[in-house]
Structure 1
Amino acid sequence: MDQTTMYSRIIATGAALPAHRVTNDELAARLLRDGIETNDEWIRTRTGIEARRFCDPTQGEGTTSLAVAAAREALGRSGLDASEIDLIIVATTTPDRIFPSTAAQVQAAIGAPGCAAFDVQAVCAGFIYALNAADAMLRAGPYRHAIVIGAETLSRVVDFKDRSTCVLFGDGAGAVVMSASSDPGVLAARMYADGRHDEKVLGLDAKLVEGRIVGDPFIRMDGRQVFKLAVEGLTTSAKEVASLACVRTEDVALFVPHQANLRIMSMVAHKLGIPEERMVKTVAEHGNTSAASVPLALDHAVRNGMVKSGELVLLQAVGAGMAWGSALVRWA
């Protein structure tokens, strides 16, 4: 392409979920065996979650296998060959191994040797960070086609003796294929972080030392503080990308928020003037899948014909760090 100004566009989506679906009743029964009481109503009314998927390592399921499956599906829908991919970015907090990167393993599995491949760690905001990075690299060149993936197996790092967190999270992966284009696709994207909100708000304080896990190996969260920070950060960032794109948030045709908590999602939609019928809701079936949350929800919307060519799509997520961000996309 000879055009001076280049953009990036999302041209295809893909998703992968573990086979094992765990309902609230099943999870409550598991917790009761350890003397922890909860029930379906308690979980649904506070989170909007009804079920989630958990990986079964004995069946070979994990972050990498989910990422590969989502990437293959998105690639198949894109009409591109794996040899045409120039860039693979995987957002994950729960890689199967410390290194090599999950992106490098995806590259090998799909048959795209030689392209750039790396991971991004921004927890639940990871996919927005990865999308932003891919957008910048496709605009700048020489990269032409990228696969951006969010993949997580959070079931490995939840404490099933802590009902305030273990009911929230699930496993899964979502992917998009992005291509450089002379037509605007990603209109504006921004990332933010505030490291003052450390693991006391939301974090996992564990490390590997001489082959041993040192510290608390489970997710810990101050729910009230996360709720407050999430609503504030998501609302502000959405308004900023809308302003940068010279559109109104009310003009968004499809709102794809981070699927963490239905109450957070609904409050942000209200503050942005976006009717709830335009908001994608997969939290009931998926729970919070961290970096996989937004691409899984976007794929659900695409599969179900919820977005049309030319419409505005708002993607956003928030997670530990605290880290957050939004992206405004003109759908291809």
Structure 2
Amino acid sequence: MNIGITGTGSYLPSIVTKNSDFENHDFLNEDGTPFKHPNEVIIQKFQGITGISERRYAADNLNTSKLAFFAAEKAITDAKIDKEELDYIIFAHNFGDVSISQSQGDALPSLATRVKHQLQIKNPKCVAYDLLFGCPGWIEGIIQAHAFIKSGIAKKCLVIGAETLSRIVDKHDRDSMIYSDGAGATIVEASENAGQILSHNSATYANEEAFFLFFGESYSKTAQDGTLYIKMYGRKIYEFAVTYVPQAMKDCLDKSGVPITEVKKIFIHQANEKMDEAIVKRFYKLFDMDMPDGIMPMSIEKLGNSSVATIPTLYDMVKNGKMENQSIKKGDVVIFASVGAGMNINAIVYRV
């Protein structure tokens, strides 16, 4: 009996924020000085590098755990399971619930517990916990669910990736245009109808790479009131990702025994369009091949970077025919891969 994904669900927030909505922002350098170029030029260059033209933000009355609840309901329905049969709820996020009027994350109780509460699951043996692993958190949650089921201590798991990054960005930092909100959820179980995890690979680089993503003060010297925001060293992250992720993907594929020619899709964390393309091109170069057309579905243009939510939402969209010119079918071999804060890397080779 296979162990794999039997149901998927996603929630895309309703508020669409276009690049033009940032034209009146007061973007500053790290030292608080203004940029030499006008915002129109900054935004144009930003779109050329990241591929992002718009992103989704959650409505003011919603938070991360609520978005996750919406996605979880859909995944449970899609898998046609009884929610009371869930053994684990694994919730990957990074900042907890951040209300629109607050400046700090709330993770007490855990967001997984909040989702269980909203789902009204009565079974106390359904264990709910949060997973903080940067952007690769959803993939790591799938790996953990697979291990639980393979060891015999679980039969069905709900794995969620959700975030509201729009609540923790510095409006004076041009990188704030990257981030977005969203939620994706999956049911993992042992079933004849399930797909199959063929191999997986994870790593943490925590020496000089540990603080490539971090919490820091606003770039505006007049706005520094102790509130901290998500910050990153973008160039260092890019160099790290294109150096280490392709090899991690190759190691994972080699472990699976599947030839590269059988891979139909690569679902990579939607971090930055040029970076993702560079990663996948270098991955194929390790096999002395060119990157095939259409191998890498991309949602970042319209959805931005929602961290742990990018891959499960993307997979749900492609699986359900919601992305033009992209599809998968039963038996296809795909790769999930991500890189993020930690710095963490992981990958899964999966037969749909």
For the criterion TM > 0.5, the same-fold answer is yes
Q: 2:107 aligns with which of 98, 110, 122?
A: 98
Number of the residue aligned with 1:210? none
Task: State whether structure 2 residue 286 is matched by structure 1 residue 277.
Answer: no
Q: Give the root-mean-square deviation of aligned CA atoms.
A: 2.2
Residue 87 to residue 328, structure 1, CA distance change in 2 (3 Å): same
Q: 1:110 aligns with which of 98, 102, 119?
A: 119
- 1:66-145 to structure 2, matched below 5 A, reads 66-96=67-97, 97-113=106-122, 114=124, 115-145=126-156
Task: State whether structure 2 residue 302 is matched by structure 1 residue 288.
Answer: no
Q: Work out the CA distance in 2 between the residues paired with 1:123 and 1:76.
A: 28
Shift of 1:233: 2.4
Shift of 1:31: 4.3
* Contact kept in structure 2, 1:197 and 1:321, CA below 8 Å: no
* Contact kept in structure 1, 2:25 and 2:172, CA below 8 Å: no
Q: Work out the CA distance in 2 between the residues paired with 1:201 and 1:238.
A: 21
* Contact kept in structure 2, 1:89 and 1:149, CA below 8 Å: yes
Counterpart of 1:173 in structure 2: which amino acid? A
Q: 1:51 aligns with which of 23, 46, 54?
A: 54
Q: 2:318 aligns with which of 298, 301, 307?
A: 301
* Contact kept in structure 2, 1:43 and 1:50, CA below 8 Å: no
Q: Aligned with 1:243: secondary structure?
A: helix
Q: 2:177 aligns with which of 167, 171, 176?
A: 167
Counterpart of 2:62 in structure 1: which amino acid? E
Q: Work out the CA distance in 1 between the residues paired with 2:210 and 2:170.
A: 15
Shift of 1:228: 1.0
Q: 1:318 aligns with which of 336, 339, 342?
A: 339
Number of the residue aligned with 1:9? 4
Shift of 1:161: 0.2
Q: Work out the CA distance in 2 between the residues paired with 1:297 and 1:184.
A: 17
Number of the residue aligned with 2:220? none
Q: Aligned with 2:135: secondary structure?
A: helix
Number of the residue aligned with 2:204? 193
Shift of 1:244: 0.8
Task: State whether structure 2 residue 190 is matched by structure 1 residue 180.
Answer: yes
Q: Work out the CA distance in 1 between the residues paired with 2:346 and 2:293.
A: 20
Q: Work out the CA distance in 2 between the residues paired with 1:10 and 1:197.
A: 36
Residue 242 to residue 199, structure 1, CA distance change in 2 (3 Å): closer
Q: Which runs of 5+ in 2 are unaligned?
A: 98-105, 218-223, 285-290
Number of the residue aligned with 2:18? 23
Number of the residue aligned with 1:209? none
Shift of 1:103: 0.6
Q: Work out the CA distance in 2 between the residues paired with 1:85 and 1:190.
A: 25
Task: State whether structure 2 residue 39 is matched by structure 1 residue 38.
Answer: yes
Number of the residue aligned with 2:100? none
Counterpart of 1:26 in structure 2: which amino acid? D
Shift of 1:227: 0.3
Percent pairwise identity: 29
TM-score, normalised by the number of residues in structure 2 = 0.84
Counterpart of 1:322 in structure 2: which amino acid? M
* Contact kept in structure 2, 1:204 and 1:216, CA below 8 Å: no
Residue 205 to residue 139, structure 1, CA distance change in 2 (3 Å): farther
Q: Aligned with 1:90: secondary structure?
A: strand
Structure 1: 4+ residue segments shifted above 6 A: 32-36
Q: Work out the CA distance in 2 between the residues paired with 1:31 and 1:281.
A: 29
Q: Work out the CA distance in 2 between the residues paired with 1:184 and 1:14.
A: 16
Residue 215 to residue 138, structure 1, CA distance change in 2 (3 Å): farther
Number of the residue aligned with 1:3? none
* Contact kept in structure 1, 2:180 and 2:305, CA below 8 Å: yes
Counterpart of 2:149 in structure 1: which amino acid? L
Shift of 1:250: 3.7
Q: Aligned with 1:124: secondary structure?
A: coil
